[in-house]
């Protein structure tokens, strides 16, 4: 379980979980679960296009993720946010189906992009993942304070001179970057579960933003490690375990916080 090619898997999955935990905190805080689903899922259309053109699927994923994020941000200024997210998603997937219709024999690779191939990570994939992951975490560190204010109290943020729409665009770009990095490794669906499950649980356990981020990353790491271990033993798909753990962790966290409605005041 810890030898040879599995080491790549452990490393890649840990990096993905860390980034998903950090980005997920803001996704949950801002209530943009739909965006976190739409960008990775829609980016898959770009991978189909890249495959058709014969270039690295990473470029297709990145192009579509950025285009989708930009489209959501741009259209969202005039229309309903959930509406433009849904429309951007279906347009990207529609283009994907068009690309698929032009090429032949793609089904298996598509399947792996949606559900992930964690157990088949190559050593050459690790470097781009690490670079993009660092970029994501760095961007979140820079955006941390203004984005926090703009997410929790947008009115106050605007009064203090923050450009909330620019911040949102920057955040969407980070989501796009995280997408490009994670989808080839864990797939669009798994990325989504990892983003919102642990962060949602962390949010209902603590109010402190930094503590929530640390907790969210820890839960994401434990989730993905457990899922890999069980998946390795049973041969069942890893997405199944991550998806179930996401709901399980969230439900237990909610149960816990309802069982202990009055939290001990700031112990630490």
Number of chain positions touching another protein (CB under 8 A):
54
Question: With b meaning 16 or more CB within 10 Å and e meaning fewer, what string describes 68-105?
Answer: bbebbbebbeeeebeebbebbbeebbebbeebbeeeee
The pair of structure tokens assigned to 219 is 């839960």
* DSSP conformation letters of 35-59: HHHHHHHHHHHHHHHHHHHTS-HHH
Does 73 help bind another protein (rule: CB under 8 A)?
Answer: no
Q: Residue 104 Cβ, how far from another protein at the closest point, in Å?
A: 9
94 binds another protein (CB under 8 A): yes
Q: Which of 1, 4, 108, 266 is the binder for another protein (CB under 8 A)?
A: 108
Give the residue among 193, 194, 211 at the shortest CA–CA distance from 202.
Answer: 211
Structure tokens belonging to residue 77: 């200024």
Chain residues 114-153 in contact with another protein, contact rule CB under 8 A: 114-115
Q: Is the Cβ of residue 141 or residue 251 nearer to another protein in the bound state?
A: 251
Which of residues 55, 80, 134, 210 is near another protein by CB under 8 A?
A: 80
Of the residues 53, 123, 236, 256, which one makes contact with another protein according to CB under 8 A = 236
Whole-angstrom Cα distance, residue 90 to residue 97? Answer: 10
Residues 37-66 as x/- pattern, contact with another protein by CB under 8 A: x-----------------------------
Contact present, 159 and 149 (Cβ < 8 Å): no
In the complex with another protein, the residue whose CB is nearer, 79 or 138, is: 79
Nearer to another protein, 79 or 208 (CB): 79
Query: In this complex, which beta carbon is closest to another protein, that of residue 10 or of residue 34?
Result: 34
């Amino acid at each position: 379980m810890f030898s040879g090619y599995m080491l790549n898997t452990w490393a890649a999955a840990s990096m993905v979980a860390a980034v998903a935990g950090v980005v997920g905190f803001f996704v949950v805080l801002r209530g943009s679960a739909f965006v976190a689903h739409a960008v990775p899922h829609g980016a898959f259309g770009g991978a189909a296009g890249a495959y058709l053109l014969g270039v690295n699927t990473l470029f297709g994923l990145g192009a579509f993720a950025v285009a989708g994020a930009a489209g959501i941000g741009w259209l969202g200024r005039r229309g309903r946010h959930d509406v433009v997210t849904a429309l951007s998603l279906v347009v990207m997937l529609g283009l994907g189906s068009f690309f698929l219709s032009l090429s032949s024999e793609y089904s298996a690779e598509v399947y792996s992009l949606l559900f992930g191939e964690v157990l088949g990570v190559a050593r050459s994939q690790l470097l781009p993942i690490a670079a993009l992951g660092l970029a994501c975490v760095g961007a979140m560190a820079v955006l941390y304070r203004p984005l926090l204010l703009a997410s929790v109290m947008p009115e106050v943020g605007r009064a203090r001179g923050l450009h909330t729409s620019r911040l949102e665009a920057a955040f969407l770009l980070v989501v796009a970057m995280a997408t490009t990095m994670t989808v080839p490794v864990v797939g669009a669906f798994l990325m989504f579960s990892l983003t919102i499950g642990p962060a949602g649980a962390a949010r209902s356990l603590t109010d402190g933003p930094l503590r929530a981020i640390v907790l969210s990353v820890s839960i994401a790491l434990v989730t993905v490690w457990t899922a890999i271990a069980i998946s390795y033993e049973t041969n069942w798909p890893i997405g199944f375990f991550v998806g179930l753990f996401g709901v399980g962790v969230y439900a237990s966290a909610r149960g816990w916080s309802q069982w202990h409605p009055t939290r001990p005041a700031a112990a630490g």
